[in-house]
Amino acid sequence: MTARIKRSQVATYLNTTPSSAATWSLIGDGITNLKESLNPKTSSETYITDNVATISVDSYAPTMPAIATAKVGEAVFEYIRGLRDAKAILSDCETQIINVALYETPTAGAYPATQQNCSIQVDEFSGEGGVKMNQNFTINFQGTPTQGTFNPSTKTWTATTGGE
């Protein structure tokens, strides 16, 4: 029987101190939805001898929108709040994420992972009367990811192949 993968077996860590040594904070506490949207860019051509188009995948523009409950003191919330308060743009909202495959077999506590440069887009800070506040944001991937391993216990990243 083929094993299923639960969302809790794919961990995403955000570097919440990009201007100094990396601090890898788990994106999870307060997050109710996190999905990677690949956003493929395609082109379509219908050749004169065909009645059906040929579609090519030209590139991807991956994003990862997050629906987040605002939680004071939680590292990811505080980092995003800082970006929101500063109305950060360009390089001021750039950092890195690591996506970790916790469903794989670890080697010395380290799991297969990818590190990705990204920019953080703060989408909204909102809430209705009598309910929790949400701080929603989108992680915009930049360039090619780097393959490697990540140890969640020590929060240690090790690259195994090059990327951008």
Going along the chain from its start, the domains and CATH numbers come out as 7-40+56-156 (4.10.410)
Structure tokens at 149: 């391993």
CB-based contact 63:34 (threshold 8 Å): no
Burial category of 149 from C-beta neighbours within 10 Å (exposed 0-12, middle 13-18, buried 19 and up): buried
Per-residue pLDDT tens digits for 129-145: 888 889 999 999 999 99
Per-residue pLDDT tens digits for 14-71: 999 998 899 999 999 999 889 999 999 999 999 999 999 999 999 999 999 999 998 9
Q: Given 3-state DSSP classes, what are the helix, strand and coil percentages for the chain, each rounded to the nearest 5?
A: 10, 50, 40
Q: To 10 degrees, the CA torsion angle through 108, 29, 163, 6?
A: 70
Q: Is 143 helix (H, G, I), strand (E, B) or coil?
A: strand
